[in-house]
Amino acid sequence: MSSQTGTSEGPNIIKRLFIKVGVLPFFLGIALVVFTFLSDKFLTGQNLLNVARQSVYLVLVSMGQMLVLISGGFDLSVGTAIALTSVVSATGMVAMASVFPDAIWLAIILGAFMGFAAALMIGLVNGVGVAYFEVSPFIMTLGVSSVGAGLALFLTGGVPVSGLPFAFGDTFGFGRLWGIPVPVIVALICIIIMWVFMSRTRLGTQVYAVGGNIKAAHLSAINTKRTLMLAYIICALIASLTGLLLTARVESGEANLGGTIALESIAACVIAGVSLRGGIGRVENVVLGAFFIVLVQNGMNLAQVSSYMQMVLLGLLLILAVIFDQLRYRMILSGN
Amino acid sequence: MSHTPLVKTTALSKRYPGVLALDAVDLDLVAGEVHVLFGENGAGKSTLISMLAGSNTPTSGEIHLRGQKMAFKSVADAQKHGIFTVFQEFSLIPTLTVAQNIFLGKEPKRGPFIDHRAMRAEAAAMFAELEFDIDPNALTASLSRAQQQMVEIAKAFHGDLSVLILDEPTASLTDREVDHLFKFIDRLKADGVGIIYISHRMQEFARIADRITVLRDGARIGTVNMADTDDAALVEMMTGRNISEIYPKIARQTGEVVMQVKDLRAPRLHPASFDIKAGEVLGVAGLVGSGKSRLFRTIMDLYPRQSGSVTFRGHDISRSPTREIIQAGVYYLSPDRKHEGLDLAKSSNENLGLNPVMARTNERLRGFVNWSAIRTATDHTADKVELPQSYRPKLVSQLSGGNQQKVLFGKAFGQDIDLYIFDEPTVGVDMGTRAALYLLIKELAEAGKAVVLISSDLPEVLNMAHRTLVFAHGRISAELSGDDMSEDRILKHFFDETGATT
């Protein structure tokens, strides 16, 4: 009780903030200071706007990843869902465009649905494996990730699918609505839907409950298997949407899209305070977490850190975030 | 035997920041006696033995072993002086064999290599001497909890044993295994070993205890000879209040049959048939492992069902999944609040809110949660279970066991339930909280709900239930009510091998 003096007041506030929101505010503060110091172009309105636009893809995937993490698992196959969506939808659009040369939007929509269907299969397989066969999410999604990546390469022979309808890239890759880039609008809509889903719907509450204690959830009349399925399916579908946006951006169907996004999205979630044990996590923090990752990448680019070194730093950041997550969980459970 | 006690503590105290866990306790243990430590959770029993075992150091006071002052630096240090402790949490490694576990850290060697043959032979010899029927080559994970307990004791046994401390050793043993353990304790007594025995089960004391020391709130209330005391006196010493103040009288207004179980068959259970009636508290008594919990978990589809029918308010639920059974109006309170009952990393309010959310009451829009209505409901529930205001936004992990149990109990409210199945509802809960929970059970029963009270605590069943099913060896060995429901009668049926059907 003697520690209630002025000097320990500061650490106490830091500790309480850390327990409440996790490590993100601290990382964000450090990153802003370091990169502002390293490059005078970093803290400019133009650059931050740029970061916001670039972060759209990671923000989307991270929200899906968050859903699976909160349910108590994780999804390593998000990158594969993106790649498969990209090649399937691109192939579909090219094929449909030759069938309906006069109805180009019909071809785009049909192609997009083929992409969604491919990702749905990924989500379904993940969900069935984890929920019904109780395969560890790590192995299940790692296996599916290999299967999906192999299929994407097999379908295209490793060659990018080109000749996409011009309107597709023009609208979803580079288009603007009311002066705002279309991908940003898509992301904003998704953020709002996810926020409502997680905090206002019964299904969202179920995901939290299943991740927190699956046996207790079972005894609260929750269909735990269906809830797990749902998490993996939504995650794959959001990744698929991201895959479409990326395909529009690069204007071709590529099997190597989303190569590092599984790691990045998990890092974004963990930094944003999503617990790796499930049950804990908030949409708004995850959005900020994904933004932070892109901000760090942008800062490293401006500071002319080589892309190889960036991989090293990103991995270290993830490990650091997990260590802090561990500490935080211990603090929560010990009740200090 | 001798005048110097084996172990003697004088004014032993342990202070943690803000709490005095143990307050100047004097205790003496003489060779060849079984000295029971009795008290509620948090009374200081565990703190006391942790210091004797060497895993904790006293703040003040002294420990004497055979008249010599001791300061144990570690569990290993205490063991070197002949004090062995079997804690509730086992120290066995499930992936190793029994023999490997027993010799962990002191394996017999041949040159630089472990001599597995000698290890197995020694372990087998040891089990033969202790008359434990355990295969030293078996994987520890494949043993029952009781057998693991035996291995744990064997682990303590090899060495120079003079004091054995047992922390709730019978909590998970079947009656036969308890007999075995007690026979073993008798032999140790005869060899002059002093035994400190912690247990909540008063029915065991008469069988093995020589003296009983009662602790309450960290202080020693008194030490009595077993021959000079009885249950009522012990409970009064433990709680500081009379037994009749703890258990409320529940008016019996038996209504219609709510649930009818006919010939329910499941693995490790004999076919069971019985009725549950509205407005009645049905007690379910039996030893751990007698199948009393298993039967109701089977009804809830938490364990596999084979055949037979379960009718709940006219509907057959013998094939329904747990979810649908709950939605039909049956609530099951798990005995394991940490693993099955609560989400520890969430607040009390969030835990209490889950069932109302799933019950879909107060939904303004289908599928959307009306959080303000849920909040009103959880506030109401928290008031009902007397959970202090300041605990409600706190994480459940930060609450005491008693308050956690209140939260778990609270989850039973806020939804439409006709049958409450409480499986060990007061396990690990102090008497004050117990009294509050019993009042809630009374309230439910008198409001015309059907209540099933599964409990290993015999006084609880005796005082709360209107009618009692007694379980032995996976079958209902008796159904008793009214004056037949006496301690003697129930205990007799605990060990009933014949299984007279009701």
Q: Chain-centre distance of CA B149, in angstroms?
A: 15
pLDDT of B129 > 80? The answer is no
pLDDT tens digits for range B336-393: 888 888 998 889 999 999 988 888 766 777 888 888 888 998 999 899 888 888 889 9
Q: If we measure between CA atoms, which residue out of B387, B51, B35, B88 comes closest to residue B218?
A: B51
DSSP characters over B390-427? GGTTSBGGGS-HHHHHHHHHHTTSSS--SEEEEESTTT
Does residue A3 or residue B239 have the better pLDDT? B239
Quick check: A215 and B340 CB within 8 A? yes
Q: Domain limits of chain A?
A: 24-327
The answer to whether the beta carbons of residues B338 and B344 sit under 8 Å apart is yes
Which domains, ranges and CATH numbers included, belong to chain B?
Answer: 7-244 (3.40.50.300), 246-329+417-494 (3.40.50.300), 347-413 (no CATH)
pLDDT of B2 > 70? The answer is no
Residue of A nearest to B408 (CA): A216
pLDDT tens digits for range B268-291: 888 999 999 999 999 999 877 788
pLDDT for the residue numbered A4: 40
pLDDT for the residue numbered B147: 79
Residue of B nearest to A223 (CA): B323
pLDDT of B213 > 60? The answer is yes
The burial class, CB within 10 Å (0-12 / 13-18 / 19+), for B301 is buried
pLDDT for the residue numbered B261: 93
- CB proximity list for B91: less than 8 A, separation 6 or greater: B152, B155
- CB proximity list for B350: less than 8 A, separation 6 or greater: B343
pLDDT for the residue numbered A50: 87
Q: In what order do the strands lie in the sheet with B194-198?
A: B83-86, B163-167, B194-198, B34-38, B211-216, B219-225
Interface test with A, best of B333, B334, B354 (most A CBs within 10 A): B354
Does residue B233 or residue A10 have the better pLDDT? B233
On average, the pLDDT of chain B sits at 85
DSSP characters over A20-76? HH-SHHHHHHHHHHHHHHH-TTTTSHHHHHHHHHHTHHHHHHHHHHHHHHHTT---T
The C-alpha atoms of residue B214 and residue B35 are separated, in whole angstroms, by: 11
Q: Taking each helix axis from N to C terminus, what angle separates A261-271 and A307-334, rounded to the nearest 10 degrees?
A: 40
Interface test with A, best of B358, B360, B399, B408 (most A CBs within 10 A): B358
Indicate the residue of B343, B346, B369 with minimum beta-carbon distance to A201: B369
pLDDT of B216 > 60? The answer is yes
The shortest C-alpha distance from A334 to chain B (Å) reads 7
Mean pLDDT for the stretch of residues B477-502: 74
3-state DSSP assignment of residue B341? helix
Q: Report yes or no: A176 at the B interface, CB cutoff 8 Å.
A: no
Q: Where are the alpha helices (DSSP H) in B198-309?
A: 202-208, 231-239, 243-246, 292-299
Quick check: A329 and B345 CB within 8 A? yes
- Output the pTM of the full model: 0.80
What single DSSP character describes residue B345?
T
Residues of B in contact with A218 (CB under 8 A): 322-323
The answer to whether the beta carbons of residues B197 and B169 sit under 8 Å apart is yes
The shortest C-alpha distance from B243 to chain A (Å) reads 33
For A267, the enclosing helix (H) or strand (E) is helix A261-271
Instruction: Give contacts of A 92-121 with B, CB under 8 A.
Output: none
The C-alpha atoms of residue B240 and residue B497 are separated, in whole angstroms, by: 39
CATH number for the region A24-327 comes to 1.10.3470
Q: B interface toward A at CB cutoff 8 Å?
A: 17-18, 322-323, 326-327, 332, 334, 339-346, 354-355, 357-360, 363, 367-369, 371, 395, 397-398, 411
The shortest C-alpha distance from A327 to chain B (Å) reads 14
Beta strands in B17-162 (DSSP E): 19-29, 34-38, 60-65, 68-70, 83-86, 109-110, 113-114
Q: Report yes or no: A179 at the B interface, CB cutoff 8 Å.
A: no
The shortest C-alpha distance from A300 to chain B (Å) reads 36
Residue of B nearest to A328 (CA): B345
Q: Report yes or no: A212 at the B interface, CB cutoff 8 Å.
A: yes
- pLDDT in single tens digits along all 336 residues of chain A: 333 434 445 677 888 888 777 788 888 889 889 988 888 888 888 888 889 889 999 999 999 999 999 999 999 999 999 999 999 999 999 898 888 888 889 999 999 999 999 999 999 999 999 999 999 999 999 999 999 999 999 988 888 888 888 888 888 888 888 888 899 999 999 999 999 999 999 999 999 999 999 999 999 889 999 999 999 999 999 999 999 999 999 888 888 888 889 989 999 999 888 888 888 899 999 999 999 999 999 999 998 889 899 889 888 988 888 888 888 878 777 654
The answer to whether the beta carbons of residues A25 and A17 sit under 8 Å apart is yes
pLDDT for the residue numbered A7: 43
The C-alpha atoms of residue A331 and residue A20 are separated, in whole angstroms, by: 11
The answer to whether the beta carbons of residues B88 and B68 sit under 8 Å apart is no
The C-alpha atoms of residue B470 and residue B291 are separated, in whole angstroms, by: 10
The answer to whether the beta carbons of residues B175 and B495 sit under 8 Å apart is yes
At B58, list the tokens. 């006293």
The shortest C-alpha distance from A331 to chain B (Å) reads 10
The C-alpha atoms of residue B165 and residue B160 are separated, in whole angstroms, by: 14
Does residue A190 or residue B149 have the better pLDDT? A190
What single DSSP character describes residue A273?
T
Does residue B120 or residue B431 have the better pLDDT? B120
On average, the pLDDT of chain A sits at 88
pLDDT of B410 > 60? The answer is yes
Quick check: A215 and B18 CB within 8 A? no
The burial class, CB within 10 Å (0-12 / 13-18 / 19+), for A162 is exposed
